[in-house]
């Protein structure tokens, strides 16, 4: 059995890097959702899968 390990960091709004990291997380989420949408659209219309490397 393979174990997954996760590390969690809590950054409070008082931290000087909070604003920057919050913005990066927001942009990362939007980029992932956009790529996921493109992959799904291509698959539904043409039955082809776009790999993450091609994306």
4 found inside a domain: no
Number of H helices, E strands in the chain: 1, 0
In whole angstroms, give the CA distance from residue 35 to residue 26.
Answer: 14
The C-alpha atoms of residue 10 and residue 25 are separated, in whole angstroms, by 13
> Does residue 43 lie in a domain region?
yes
Span 20-42, pLDDT tens digits: 999 999 999 999 999 999 999 99
Q: What's the token pair of residue 48?
A: 């082809």
Q: Is residue 41 part of a domain?
A: yes
Residue 27 lies in a domain: yes
Q: How far apart are CA 29 and CA 36, in angstroms?
A: 11
Quick one: tokens of 34?
């956009």
Higher pLDDT among residues 19 and 55, named by residue: 19
Number of domains in the chain: 1
Domain that holds residue 35: 17-54
Tokens, residue 7: 């590390």
Report yes or no on whether pTM surpasses 0.85: no
């Amino acid at each position: 059995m393979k174990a997954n390990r996760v590390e969690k960091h809590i950054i409070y709004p008082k931290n000087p890097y909070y604003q920057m990291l919050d913005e990066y997380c927001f942009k990362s989420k939007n980029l992932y959702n956009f790529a996921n949408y493109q992959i799904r659209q291509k698959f539904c219309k043409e039955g082809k899968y776009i790999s993450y490397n091609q994306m």
